[in-house]
Amino acid sequence: MISTAIRTGVVLVGIALIAALAYLVYLDRLITNTFEGRRWSMPALVYAQPVELYPGAALMLADMIEELDRLGYAPDANLANPGTYAQRGGQLDIHLRAFEFLEAARASQRIRLTFNDRGIHSVGDSNGRPIPLIRLDPLSIGSFFPSHGQDRLVLQPDQVPALLTGALIAVEDEKFEDHHGFDLKGIARAAWVNLTAGEIRQGGSTLTQQLVKSYYLDNRRTFERKLKEVAMSIILELRFSKTDLLNAYVNEIYLGQDGVRAVHGFGLGAQFYFNKPLGELQTHELATLVAIIRGPSYYNPYRNPDRTHRRRDRVLAKMFEANLIELEDLEQSLVEPFHVVSGARSGGAYYPAFMDMVRATLSKSYQQDDLTTAGLRVFTTLSPRTQDAVEQALLETIGKLETARSLPAGDLQGAVIVANTQTGEIEAISGGRTAGVDGFNRALNARRPVGSLVKPVIYLAALERGYHLASIIQDAEVTLPLRGSEPWTPKNFDGEVHGPVPLVRALGDSLNLATVNLGLAIGVDQIADRLAALTGRRPQNTFPSLLLGAESMTPLEVLSLYGTFASGGFNMTPKSVVAVLDEQRRPLARHHFELDQRIDREHARSIGRALEIVMHNGTGKSSRFARVGVAGKTGTSDDYRDSWFAGYDNQRIAVVWLGFDDNRSTSMTGAAGALKVWDAVFSRLSVQPLATPDSTWEEIEYSTGLVANDSCADIVSVPLPIEAEPATKSGCGISLKRVADRLGRKFKKWFD
C-alpha cells in the first residue's frame, strides 16, 4: 500500500517536472523569439521636408527662430554644441546638427544668417564665406512600429549617453551587473521603504523584470504573474548580455501617453518632453526622464509637476551618491527650473492624418514588415509651418463659428488639405478639428456631397465646346420629370431667375438654373465623362442632380481636381513621399513628379481666370483675400449639410470641408463656413498673388457680358478667343488701343 503511494507520488512529481520543463522550454522560445525580433526591429523613421535657407528666402527673423524652436534648438551665446543658436540684432548664428540627407551626409557646422525687411539677406559659414543654400535638419514626425498605438525612436548603444545608463542602474537596479534577473533583497527593501514613506519611492523589480513586463506581461498583480515574471527574467539573463538587456530597456520602457499614442523609450521620451535629441539633454532633464519611469501616470510632469520635480531631485541625489556627477553639477541641476515643453505638439510632434497618407503611399510598394523592421528612412513633403497654420486656423475658426451660430460646442468637424500648386506636394493635412489625434481621417476618407464645387467642370466642358466667358446662357426655370417621384425643379440660392447672363457671371455667382441649363445642353453623360477624366474616378451619380454637385468626393479628391485648375491644366497626383532610403542609407525609391496634361492651356487659363472672378465678384468676395489675386470656389450641399471651399494662390492650394459626422445641417454655406477657415489658414501663410490679367484680355461688364470699360460698368478682364465678337454696351465706347489690339491678334492668327 505504501509502495503504491510512493510510486504514485514519484509519477506525479515526474509529470510535474516534465510539465515544468516543457513550460520553461515554451517560455524560452517565446522570450528568445520575441526579444530577438524586437531587438533588431528598426521601424521606418519619417521626416518632414527640411527648411531651406538661402539669400532671398521669405523667412523673417521671428519665423526662423520659430523653426529652430520647433526643432528643439536652444539659445546659447557660445554655440557650444550642435542644436544651439544665438541672436544678435538682425543676425542669427546657428550651430547646425549633423544629418544624413538624401544626397549626402552633412556634418554639424556653424552658420550665420542676416535678415532684412524681406527675409534672409545672406547666409555664410563660420569664416564668413557665402553659402548659396543650406538646410536645417528635418523634423522627425513619426515611425511605423508594429505594436498598434505605440511609437518610439530606436537607439543603438552608442547613441545612449553613459550618464543615462548609469542613472538607470543607480536608481532602478543597483545590483544589475550582479544579479541573474531578480533581487529578493531589493524587493524586500523597496517594500519597506515605500511602506514607511507612505508613497512609491523605490521599485522592487529589476531592470530585467521591468523589461519582461513591458514585453510580455500585463499589469495584473498576482502571485502567478510574479513567478512568471521572475522565470522569464532568468531566461533573458541567461540568453542575452547585460548590454543587450540595458539597450532594450532604454528603447522599450513606457514613458507616457500622447492621446492614444503610447510613448516608449528614451529616444522618443526626450523629444516628447524636451523637444531635443536624447544626446542633447542636460543632467537635470535626464534625471526627469529617469524619474518618470517609476510611474508615468503618477509622475506625469504635466498633471503633477511638483511631485515629479521632487522625484527628479531625488534622482539627482542618487546620481551624485553613485559618483555619476560632481557636486557642482548636482548643485547646478537642483536649481534648474523644472520644465517640460508645453504639450505634445511641441515635442515629439505626431501628425496622424499626414502619416495616414504616407502609410497609404508606402503600402503600394512595401510590405508591412518592411515598414516596421527594415530601418527605412522616409522623407516626406510635410511642412510643419504650414501644418501648424492649418491646425490653428481650423480649431480656432470652428470654435468661433459654433459660438456665432449657437451650434453645439465640440460637435462641428472639419478637414483641411494643403498642397503646392506646381508640384502636387502635400504640405499639411488635418483630418479633424483636434490636432495630433488618431481617428477617422476626414481629409482622406470622408466622402461627402461637394455641391457647387463641381460647377467649374461643367463650365470647362462648355469652353471646350466653343463657349467663352462672355457667352450668354439662360438662367431660366427648369422642371425635369422623374419616374416614380415629384419632378425635379432646382432653384437659385436667392430664389430669383436672372434671365440671360454671361458664362463668367453664372459661375461667379454660382447660379444653379444657368448651370443646369448649360449642363443639359452639353449632356449629363458628357459632364460625367469630363469629371471622370479630370479625377480618374467615374462619378456614381449620372443623373441631372450631378450638375449641382450631388456627387460625393473626399477632400483629397477635390484637391486633385482643383490642383489641375491651379497648375494650368496639368494633373499632378497629390504626393506625400519624396524618397525612401534603406538601413544603409541607399535610395530605394524616389517619387518624382507625375505630370499629365488634362486641360488645354487656353481653356485652363480661362477657367482659372473665371475662378479668380468668383473671388473678386462672386460667391467668394467675402474673403479677406478677394482682391489680392487668389482663385477658388465655394460649395454647399443640400440642407447646408456640407460647407466646402477650394482655393489657391500662385504657390499653394487648400481644400476645406466643414460638417457634422452625423450629417445634420450646419446652417452654413461654403462662404459662411469653409471659406472662413481657408482665410484663416492663408492669413498665417504668405499669400503669393496670381499673375495679373493679360493686357490683351477683353474688358466686359460682369452682369451682362457686354464689352465695356470701368467708367461705365462693373467690368472684369477675361481671355476671349480671337473669333469672339461680344457686343459693346451702349454708351461705353472702346478705346482705339483696344480696337488695335483686337485687330493685331486677328492678323497674327491669320499668319501663324
Residues 209 and 288 in one domain: yes
pLDDT band, residue 219 (cuts 50/70/90): low
Contact 712, 731 (CB under 8 A): yes
Does 404 fall in a domain?
A: no
Residues 586 and 702 in one domain: no
Cα(668)–Cα(684) distance, integer angstroms:
23
Does 477 fall in a domain?
A: yes
pLDDT of residue 616: 96
* pLDDT reading at 222 higher than 70: no
Residues 184 and 280 in one domain: yes
* pLDDT reading at 172 higher than 90: no
Count of other CB atoms within 10 angstroms of residue 152: 23
Mean pLDDT of the chain: 87
172 is catalytic: yes
Average pLDDT on 225-232 reads: 72
Q: Give the pairing of strands 413-420 and 472-475.
A: unpaired
138, 154, 179: which is the final residue of a domain? 138
For position 232, which CATH number holds?
1.10.3810.10
What's the Rg (C-alpha) of the chain?
33
Provide the sign of the torsion angle of the four alpha carbons 516, 520, 523, 524, taken in this order: positive
Residues 666 and 542 in one domain: yes
* pLDDT reading at 207 higher than 70: yes
Does 505 fall in a domain?
A: yes
pLDDT in tens, 433-469: 988 777 899 999 999 999 999 999 999 999 999 999 9
* pLDDT reading at 163 higher than 60: yes
Does 500 fall in a domain?
A: yes
Average pLDDT on 581-606 reads: 82
pLDDT band, residue 221 (cuts 50/70/90): low
pLDDT in tens, 42-101: 777 889 999 999 999 999 999 999 999 999 999 999 998 999 999 999 999 999 999 988
* pLDDT reading at 135 higher than 70: yes
pLDDT of residue 210: 82
Residues 54 and 23 in one domain: no
Residue tagged active-site, from 67, 172, 229, 425? 172
C-alpha distances out from residue 483 to 121, 479, 549, Å:
69, 13, 21
425 is catalytic: no
476 by DSSP, 3-state: which? Answer: coil
Percent of the residues in the chain that have a pLDDT greater than 70, as a whole number:
84
Residues 244 and 283 in one domain: yes
Residues 160 and 111 in one domain: no
pLDDT in tens, 685-700: 989 999 877 778 999 9
Element (H, E) at 88: strand 84-88
Please list, in sequence order, all residues whose beta carbon lies within 8 angstroms of the beta carbon of residue 506, skipping any fewer than 6 positions away.
459, 473, 475, 514, 515, 518
Average pLDDT on 254-275 reads: 86
Q: In the chain, count of helices (H) and strands (E)?
A: 23, 32
Does 364 fall in a domain?
A: no
Please list, in sequence order, all residues whose beta carbon lies within 8 angstroms of the beta carbon of residue 242, skipping any fewer than 6 positions away.
176, 177
For position 603, which CATH number holds?
3.40.710.10
DSSP alpha helices (H): ranges in 74-206?
162-172, 184-197
φ/ψ of 694, rounded to 5, equals: -70, 140
pLDDT in tens, 333-367: 999 999 888 754 555 567 889 999 998 988 888 77
307, 335, 363: which is the final residue of a domain? 335
Does 41 fall in a domain?
A: yes
For position 85, which CATH number holds?
3.30.2060.10
275, 306, 335: which is the final residue of a domain? 335
pLDDT in tens, 421-442: 999 999 999 999 988 777 899 9
Higher pLDDT, 218 or 167: 167
* pLDDT reading at 395 higher than 90: yes
* pLDDT reading at 748 higher than 60: no
Residues 113 and 166 in one domain: no
Residues 113 and 178 in one domain: no
pLDDT of residue 209: 81
182 by DSSP, 3-state: which? Answer: coil
152 by DSSP, 3-state: which? Answer: coil
Does 386 fall in a domain?
A: no
pLDDT in tens, 616-639: 999 999 999 999 999 999 999 999
Task: Provide the domain count of the chain.
Answer: 5
Scanning the structure block, which residue is given the C-alpha cell 465695356?
708
Residue tagged active-site, from 333, 430, 452, 545? 452
* Residue-number span of the structural domain to which 745 is assigned: 698-751
Average pLDDT on 565-587 reads: 88
Average pLDDT on 545-561 reads: 96
Residues 35 and 115 in one domain: no
pTM of the model: 0.85
Residues 210 and 171 in one domain: yes
Task: Give 539-580 as a 3 state SS string.
Answer: CCCCCHHHHHCCCEECHHHHHHHHHHHHCCCEEECCECEEEE
| Cell numbers found for residue 714 | 462693373
pLDDT of residue 344: 44
pLDDT of residue 129: 94
Does 362 fall in a domain?
A: no
Residues 78 and 187 in one domain: no
Element (H, E) at 449: strand 448-449
